[in-house]
Structure formats: C-alpha cells, structure tokens
Amino acid sequence: MRRRHLLIVCLALALVGFGVFAYKVLWLGFPVRPDERSETWRVEARVTFEARGAPAKLQLRVPQSAGDLVVVEQNFVSPGYGLTTGFERGNPTAVYAIAMAEGMQTLYFRALVSRTLLQRNPPQEQAPELPVPNFGDAEQVAAQNLTEAARAQSADRETLAGFLLARLKDGKPTSEVGLLLGPVPSTLRILNVAVDLLRLAGVPARTVHGLTLEPERRQAQFIHWLEIHDEGRWRPIYPWENRSGPPPATLRWWHGQLPLAQVTGGTKLHHDVSVSRAYEHALTTAVRHGKQLEEKLVEFSVFGLPLQTQAVFRALLVIPAGVFLLVVLRNVVGIKTFGTFMPVLIALAFRETGLLAGVVFFSIIVAIGLGIRLYMEQLKLLLVPRLATIVIVVILVIFALSLLSIKLGFDRGLSIGLFPIVILTMTIERMTTIWEERGAGEALQQAAGSLVVGALCFVLMSSAYVSHLFFVFPELLLVVLAATIALGRYTGYRLTELRRFKPLAR
C-alpha cells in the first residue's frame, strides 16, 4: 500500500515535470542544450520616397506568423512619422504619416522571425466576398472556355486550380491563354490571371507574396503563389514544378493585388527588402516567441524576473541536483561525510574559487584550524567560546591566505572570503571530536569523504549543461523531487556495505 502510494506520488511528480518540460521544448522551442542557436532571421524592409513638401502617408504591408515561422518581434523606424497599424483588405498594414515632409524620406520596418518545430494550420475563415472580374469581350470568351474546360477535367477546387495554372503556364502566345496573358507574362501576371479565372469559376482565390529566408540576402525578391478557399480554409496552391511547396523557411508576407508599399503625397517610391541570419541565443527567441504565444506562462517563469534575481536563481536552482547527488552518494554508495548537507555547502563555496583552488584552500584552512583546535584542547575552553575562537581563527586564516595568494599573483585567493565560515568552523569542531574520540583515521576518512562528495557535487552543479537545464526548465526539479522521494525507499545495500559484509555472502 505504502509502496503504491509512493509510486503514484513519484510518477505524478515526474509526469508533471517531464510534461511541462516537453511542452516547453517541443511547443515553445526552448533549447535543451546551452548555447543552442535557433533558426532566426532578421528581415528588414527599407522604403524610400521623394516627398513634395506636403502631408505624406506611406502604407506598408507587414508579415504575420504563419506555418512554422513566427514573427517574434517587429519594430518601425520612422523619425518624425506617426505610426498606426491596421488592416488593408485583410493584410496587416502599417501606416506612417507626417504632416509635412520635404525631400528624400527613408523609413524602415524590421522583424525578427524564427522557426518553431510545430506547424500551425491556417485558421478557419469564412469565404470572403471577392469581386467577379471584368474581362474585355474577347477575353471574356477565352476565359469562359478555359474555365469550362478546366471544370470538366477536375474533381474539386484544388485540382481545378492546378489544371488552370498548368494551362496558363504552358499556353502558347497565340492561343486563348496567350490572349489572356499578353506577351511574355511574369509569374505574377500568370497568377493574377489564374485568380481571375478561378473567381469566374466561383472559387475564391488570391495571390500570395512571400519571402524566402536565406542566410544573407540583399534586395530579396518576393516569390508568389496562390491561395484558394476550400472547406473553410485558405489553402496554398504552388505554381512550381509538381506543385511542390516553396523553399523551406518562406515567410508569407501579404496577399492580394496590393503592392508591398503605397505612398500618397510622395513620388519615386522604392523598397528594398533584405534578410540575414540572426545568430542569437535560441533562448531569447523562445522567450520572445513565448511572450506572444503564452505570455502568462513565461511571465510566471524565471524569465519574468529581473536580471539580477535571475542570477540568484541560476545558483539556487542547481542546488537540488547537488542534494540529489549527495543522497545517492550517501545512501546508495555509502560515503561518510561530516554533517548532512555540508558537502553541498562546500560545493557552493567552490563555485567562487574553482575546484582545484577550492580543494586546496579548504584543506589548508581545515588543517590549520584543526591544528589550532587540537592545541586549544589543552586550554579546556567551554563550548560556545571555543566555537567562537575557531570562527575567529578561521577568518584570520582566510584573511592571511587571501593576502598571501594575492602577493603571489594568484587572484583566485580573493574569492575564498566567500567560504562558509560557520560551516568550516563546525567541520573543524566535529573533526576534532571524532579525532579525539575515534582516532585520526576515522576523522581523516570522513573529511576526505566530505571533500570528495563536495567536489562531485561541485562538478555536477557547475556543469553548464545542468545549470542551463534547471534554470530554463525549473519544472525538472519535480523530477528530481520524485527521484529523491523514490530513493527515500531504497532499501538495497550500500556499495560500501558490499565490501563490509563480504564475509557473510553466500
């Protein structure tokens, strides 16, 4: 009964811990390893126009998160301009406006885009009322012929669109297709005609303009494809070979026949879009991304704290890992240590000094303190003054060691001031008692045990990987908690007992 209860508690804790962990890794894209760089790009649109010394207004389409790409952050650089955002025929649009502008104007739009592991489907949407196109008399006939032929040879909207696109692409300039497209048509022209034909056939359709995100690209060109409305959603129809999708990491920017930018009160409108890979820590991206997706969750995590507090938690959150290791080393391996958690505190002190210097300093301080304490045994001091004496001696030794190591050009010496003085004092006192009562061997053995366990805890706790894991995924502490509780009912032999009781083995 107790066993089952324990198992349920541990499983529940581990499940919650791993669940949140998986959610953060898979959904929010938090990096599992420290310093992992994600696929993040900076996209910049630079728009220039010549103002006429009158009020000017610039409309610029801005991209939205779609598919596996997320617009993490966007900003508008527009000195002197007022900025509003809104929608223009279904497209998110930024409107830069100014009461009076003269000469060349330069405005920027910048966005940080990153890729997540999870593909998001376009939302359900009502079919929009799109205007039925007006063709000239001759074109009207050609268009009707084409759509009727297409309808006869297709099963649904998707195949209809595919068929029309195919016909338009390999049509000869003399045919009906040629009549509709005109001489040497661009891809965009073909798509626009396809949209008209689809609408004529009663299928809501629109052109889409996107940008392929590349590591480094100036004057990036938009690529275009179609979207048709089918079964309550907009579905992409790609005009490329075999109707394959666009290159990976293509950011859908806007749709329809509107241009990227429109200006009123200005001329010589020009825009230049560039893309570059952003080598930022994936973590920052994930958090920004999280802020858009799950603001609450992120705010409630470590990242909602001020930076200085975060540093404190970075240290605090790894302690359970050290404590767990201590439990393993004491209860499964069977190493004897002074005090229960003394080794973990030693390990924390080592964070400041580094392992080697820490072990050396610790040994020197304890050795000197022990020598003085054993000498003081002759003075027969009472307990509290005796402990106070050791505290003072320890501080003096620390001070002298710091001075000495600075003089020797060893700057690590400074950090031993942060050694836990009280812990050192209690170690010395306990070691003396054991030394006196059970002999030097036992005392040295326990001291060595404490030092070894402390060093191991330090190695674990200072590992960049471990500290990253617990800092970014504090929910893993629940898993550590579950493992610790489970170890609380570990009733097997300790490794040291295997040797101790070996003569009794059968």
Partner 1 sequence: MIGVFKNARGLHAGGVLGINRRNAAYTLVHNRRELYPLVDDKLETKRLAEKAGVAVPPLYAVVEIEREIRALPQKLADREDFVVKPARGSQGDGILVVVGRSRDTYRLADGTSLTEAELAFHVSNTLSGVFSLGGQTDRALVEYRVQFDPVFERIAYRGVPDIRVIVFLGVPVMAMVRLPTRMSRGKANLHQGALGAGIDMATGTTLSAVWRDRIVDDHPDTGVAVAGVKIPGWDTLLDIAARSFELTGLGYVGIDLVLDREMGPLVLELNARPGLAIQLANRAGLAPRLEAARAAFANLASVVERVSFAKDRFRSVL
The least CB distance from residue 490 to partner 1, in Å, is: 6
Question: Taking each helix axis from N to C terminus, what angle separates 476-487 and 2-22, rounded to the nearest 10 degrees?
Answer: 160
DSSP calls for 204-230: -EEEEEEEE--SEESSPPEEEEEEEEE
* Shortest spacing between CB 62 and partner 1, in angstroms: 60
Residue 34 CA, distance from chain mean position = 10
Structure tokens at 402: 């710091």
Backbone torsions φ then ψ of 130, nearest 5 degrees: -110, 140
Question: What residue type is assigned to position 374 of the chain?
Answer: L
d(CA 208, CA 210): 7
Least separation in angstroms between residue 124's CB and partner 1 is 57
- Alpha-carbon distance 121 to 233, whole Å? 9
Residue among 322, 321, 298, 293 at smallest CA distance from 310? 298
Alpha carbons 12 and 4: distance in angstroms, whole number? 12
Q: What are the residues whose beta carbons fall under 8 Å from the beta carbon of 273, sequence distance 6 or more?
A: 43, 44, 45, 46, 211, 219, 220, 222, 260
Give least dist CB 434 to partner 1, A: 9
Alpha carbon distances (Å) from 348 to 49, 115, 182, 200, 462: 61, 38, 77, 74, 9
Q: Is 281 left (phi over 0), alpha (psi -120 to 50) or beta?
A: beta
**Number of Cα atoms under 13 Å in the Cβ half of residue 62:** 26
Nearer to partner 1, 272 or 497 (CB): 497
Supply the minimum distance, in Å, between the C-beta of residue 496 and partner 1.
Answer: 9
Nearer to partner 1, 443 or 476 (CB): 443
Among 315, 322, 436, 324, CA closest to 375:
436
Our CB check for partner 1 shows the closer of 268 and 438 to be 438
Residue type, 324: F
Measured CA angle at 490 (ends 487, 496), to 5 deg: 105
- Give 10 or 190: the residue with its C-beta nearer to partner 1: 10
**Residue 315's CB: how many other CB atoms inside 10 A?**
13
How many CB atoms within 10 Å of residue 313? 14
DSSP code at position 81: -
CB of 346 to partner 1, least distance (A): 20
Q: Among residues 68 and 442, whose Cβ is nearest to partner 1?
A: 442
C-beta closer to partner 1: residue 231 or 497: 497
Q: Which is nearer to partner 1, 92 or 339 (CB)?
A: 339
Q: Are 485 and 6 in contact (CB under 8 A)?
A: yes
Shortest spacing between CB 444 and partner 1, in angstroms:
15
Nearest to 465 by CA among 455, 476, 454: 476
Cβ proximity to partner 1, 27 vs 341, nearer residue: 341
- Nearest residue (CB) to partner 1, 407 versus 502: 502
Name the minimum Å distance from CB 488 to partner 1: 8
- In whole angstroms, give the CA distance from residue 432 to residue 393: 15
Q: Which is nearer to partner 1, 241 or 437 (CB)?
A: 437
Q: How far is the CB of 374 from partner 1 (least distance, A)?
A: 15
Q: Which residue has the tokens 């084409």?
A: 146
Q: Which residues bind partner 1 (CB under 8 A)?
A: 331, 334, 380, 382-384, 433, 437-439, 442, 489-495, 497-498, 500-506
> How far apart are CB 33 and partner 1 at their closest, in Å?
28
Identify which of residues 130 and 444 has a Cβ nearer to partner 1 in the complex: 444
Min CB(466)–partner 1 separation in Å = 24
